[in-house]
Amino acid sequence: MTDHWVSTAKGRLFAKRWGGDSRKAPIVLFHDSLGCVALWRSFPEQLSAATGRTVIAYDRLGFGRSDPYPSRLDFDFMGEEAGVSLPALRRHFGFDRFVALGHSVGGEMAVMTAGAYPADCEAVVTVAAQSFIEDCTRAGIREAERAFAEPGAMDRLAKYHGDKAEWVLNAWIRTWLSPDFADWTLDADLARVRCPVLAVHGADDEYGSTEQPRRIVSLVAGPSTLEIIPGCGHVPHREQEGLLIELVSRFLERNAVDTVENAEIAS
């Protein structure tokens, strides 16, 4: 595992790399609305060991150890990871092909990134991702807003985001509860995804029903697989880490191609 600082036009990103077989496309992790590299915990290391692939996780601008976000978060913030962050990561780490894996809103970002780079994205894994706005999504966020108003709650967020913690929380709540965001869907981006897709969702996810992943697998242009984890909530990589790694590893074994095989096909 190595730490890295990745330069972008808007500021520096903090990233970590867990080594794997350089012949295989790395797995790039996209974190959730309150997440960062540290909150993936043991998942990246265990995923790298199980798949034999390099795993790269980074803090989005404004999160974790990355530089502060230079302005208010716009409603098109999800697409920024494909347009700004991924090109910077590719330059820094020197990879072309990749696997995109995202948790919650990071799942939406993984989908958008795959759609933006259809020739280079080998596979997509969404974990507890949203594909449209549900009443339970908004209800879960309102409940979280109340919980963070309790004494000491913001201290837990500041542990990972420092003095950016209030911006992180407000960006999440303000965006997802805005009336202007009520009709948001991932439909157009899903239609651009041609690579294999694995959509994983907890049956008891408090931020989205199982209609979320069902919509994902029904609208992507490429082959898709749905996995619902019984008794699991919104954070499968913590609640069911071993099972999630098994699902991802099996999916990649079936669907992703390493760079040596790609070179042979191209020749």
Q: What is the pLDDT of residues 37-75, one digit of tens each?
A: 999 999 999 999 999 999 999 999 999 999 999 887 887
Report yes or no on 267 lying in a domain. no
| Region 202-213 average pLDDT | 97
The rounded distance, in Å, linking the Cα atoms of 183 and 155 is: 33
Is the Cβ–Cβ distance between 102 and 125 less than 8 Å? yes
Q: What is the pLDDT of residues 155-186, one digit of tens each?
A: 999 999 999 999 999 999 999 999 999 999 99
Report yes or no on 24 lying in a domain. yes
Report yes or no on 65 lying in a domain. yes
Report yes or no on 200 lying in a domain. yes
Report yes or no on 33 lying in a domain. yes
Report yes or no on 68 lying in a domain. yes
- CB crowding 182-205: b at 16 or more within 10 Å, else e: eebebeebbeebebbbbbbbbeeb
pLDDT of residue 265: 31
The number of domains in the chain is 1
Residue 71 burial by Cβ neighbours in a 10 Å radius (0-12, 13-18, 19+):
exposed
In sign, the C-alpha dihedral spanning 155, 240, 110, 120 is positive
| Region 20-33 average pLDDT | 94
| Strands 27-30 vs 121-127: parallel, antiparallel or unpaired | unpaired
Considering the entire predicted model, what is its pTM? Answer: 0.94
224 phi and psi, to 5 degrees?
-140, 155
pLDDT of residue 87: 97
Which of helix, strand or coil describes residue 152?
coil
pLDDT of residue 263: 37
Closest CA relative to residue 24, chosen from 118, 93, 97, 83: 97
| Region 93-113 average pLDDT | 97
pLDDT of residue 75: 77
Q: What is the pLDDT of residues 215-259, one digit of tens each?
A: 999 999 999 999 999 999 999 999 999 999 999 999 999 996 644
Given a cut of 90, whether residue 76 has pLDDT beyond it is no
The better pLDDT of the pair 150, 260 is held by 150
Give me 115's structure tokens: 């759609």
Q: By residue range, what is the domain housing residue 201?
A: 2-258
Report yes or no on 204 lying in a domain. yes
CATH of residue 245's domain is 3.40.50.1820
What separation in angstroms does the CA of 67 have from each of 18, 71, 77, 153, 214?
22, 12, 16, 23, 36
